[in-house]
Chains A and B, each alone.
Chain A
Amino acid sequence: AQKVTQAQTEISVVEKEDVTLDCVYETRDTTYYLFWYKQPPSGELVFLIRRNSFDEQNEISGRYSWNFQKSTSSFNFTITASQVVDSAVYFCALYNTDKLIFGTGTRLQVFP
Chain B
Amino acid sequence: DTGVSQNPRHKITKRGQNVTFRCDPISEHNRLYWYRQTLGQGPEFLTYFQNEAQLEKSRLLSDRFSAERPKGSFSTLEIQRTEQGDSAMYLCASSFYKGANEQFFGPGTRLTVL
Q: What are the residues of chain A within 8 A of B103 when measuring CB–CB? A: 47, 100
The interface bits of chain B over 71-99 (1 if a CB of A lies within 8 angstroms of the residue's CB, else 0) are: 00000000000000000010101000001
Contact between chains at A105 and B55 (CB < 8 Å): no
Cβ-defined contact, A45 with B100, below 8 A: no
Name the residue in B55, B105, B106, B107 with the highest tally of chain A Cβ atoms < 10 Å from its Cβ: B105
- With a cutoff of 8 Å between Cβ atoms, the chain A residues found around residue B106 in the complex are 44
Give residues in B with beta carbon < 8 Å to A.
31, 33, 35, 40-45, 48, 55-56, 89, 91, 93, 99-108
- In the assembled complex, which residues on chain B have CB atoms less than 8 Å from the CB atom of A37? 105
Interface residues of A in 87-112 (CB under 8 A from B): 91, 93, 95, 97-105
List, in ascending order, chain B residues with CB within 8 A of A42's CB.
Answer: 107
Q: Check B100–A104 contact: CB distance below 8 A.
A: no
30 A-B pairs in the complex with CB atoms less than 8 angstroms apart: A33-B99, A33-B100, A35-B102, A37-B105, A43-B89, A43-B107, A44-B105, A44-B107, A45-B93, A45-B105, A47-B102, A47-B104, A50-B100, A50-B101, A97-B56, A98-B31, A98-B55, A99-B33, A99-B48, A99-B56, A100-B33, A100-B35, A100-B43, A100-B103, A101-B45, A102-B43, A104-B41, A104-B42, A105-B40, A105-B41
CB distance from A56 to the nearest CB of B (A): 17
CA distance A104 to B38 in the complex (A): 10
Say whether chain A's binding surface is mostly helix, strand, loop, or mixed: strand
Give the docked Cα–Cα distance between A70 and B35 (Å).
Answer: 28
Pick from B42, B56, B89: contact of A102, CB below 8 A: B42
Question: Taking the nearest CB of chain B, how far is it from the CB of A23, in angstroms?
Answer: 11
User: Smallest CB–CB gap between A63 and chain B, Å?
Assistant: 20
Q: Are A99 and B45 in contact (CB under 8 A)?
A: yes
- Verify B100–A102 contact, CB threshold 8 A: no
Contact of B43 among A45, A50, A95, A98 (CB under 8 A): A45
